[in-house]
Amino acid sequence: MPIAIRDDVVYIMLKKIQDSDRVPGTDPVAFSQADFVGIELATAGFLGHLDYLNQEHYINAEFSGNAYGNQDDVPNVINSKEVDFCIANTYGAPDGPLPHLIEFKRAELTEKGRQMLEDMQKNPPESMKRGTTVPIATKDTPFLEKVKVKGGLSDLYDARDITEVVFRTMRDMMPNQAVDRVANELHKEMESTSEKALQNEISELWEDTNPLVRFISRVRQPLDIKDGTFLFRVKQEASLQRTVDPEIAVKAVFSATKDELSEDRIQEVKGFLPGVIRRLWDEA
């Protein structure tokens, strides 16, 4: 059965591939549930959209894997934590739609794809602006709203709590001078709202709203925090819901934060992060 191509899904996929091109060393392109928050998208639909983009030459891809596999080759892509960029060879398949998976090593937009994305950015799909679909977060989206959308969180209070724990863990690895340089670039409201609890500047969240924790951070030496400890602290101290993946939550905070920082600060912060967390920072 043919799959209806949705503008909002095409927009998200093209934008993700474009963004991955700007960060060296992040191939293959990886999608997660957070990329499609608020969009009802089954595995077959996910793969069908990728097939469409490839067949219509909106993307160029280098791939490997068995192009002539059977239905058992199809993983539960959209429900996995994070997956490599995959495409299905649907044409002439005798055992139903989207049975044959090919895993891409690399994906990039063609000129045709870049033009389509540029046109869609000027005039976004209507479903991105209304209804149950969650809008795509951009640089103009308020900070906590970006964290909420990209992290798949239930409300802005969860976004604030998770952000503070991620910031606290990052700050614990950095000397005071570096912390201060980041703080100097985060003087913007977290959210334009009448709710007092959400009216802090981002810099206040970065430095910690708890005076005692802020003081301790200033007087102790930077800590050597490993990947597992970083994610464990976020999961435990932020009281993450069981449905929220810690890596996705961390990437959501990283993405919103990088939108507020200069390239010098982005590179400086990166230097303090351990391996997996550094990768999340690059991908965000």
The pLDDT value recorded for residue 95 is 38
Q: Model confidence over 246-280: pLDDT tens digits?
A: 898 899 999 999 999 999 999 999 999 999 999 99
Say if 137 falls within a structural domain. no
Given 128, 163, 194, the domain boundary residue is 128
Q: Are residues 49 and 120 in the same domain?
A: yes
Given 95, 128, 161, the domain boundary residue is 128
Best CA proximity match to 273, nearest among 139, 182, 142, 147? 182
Q: Are residues 147 and 67 in the same domain?
A: no
Give the global pTM. 0.55
The pLDDT value recorded for residue 66 is 41
Q: Are residues 116 and 160 in the same domain?
A: no
Q: Are residues 202 and 120 in the same domain?
A: no
**What are residue 103's DSSP bridge partners?**
64, 86
Domain carrying residue 176:
143-283
Looking at residue 12, which CATH number applies to its domain? Answer: 1.10.10
The pLDDT value recorded for residue 122 is 78
Given 128, 155, 177, the domain boundary residue is 128
Structural domain tally of the chain? 2
The pLDDT value recorded for residue 47 is 74
- The CA distance from 223 to 262, in Å, is 25
The pLDDT value recorded for residue 154 is 76
Q: Are residues 122 and 147 in the same domain?
A: no
Q: Are residues 215 and 93 in the same domain?
A: no
Which segments of the chain have a pLDDT < 70? 1-3, 21-35, 37-38, 43, 61-106, 126-141, 190-199
Say if 233 falls within a structural domain. yes
The pLDDT value recorded for residue 256 is 92
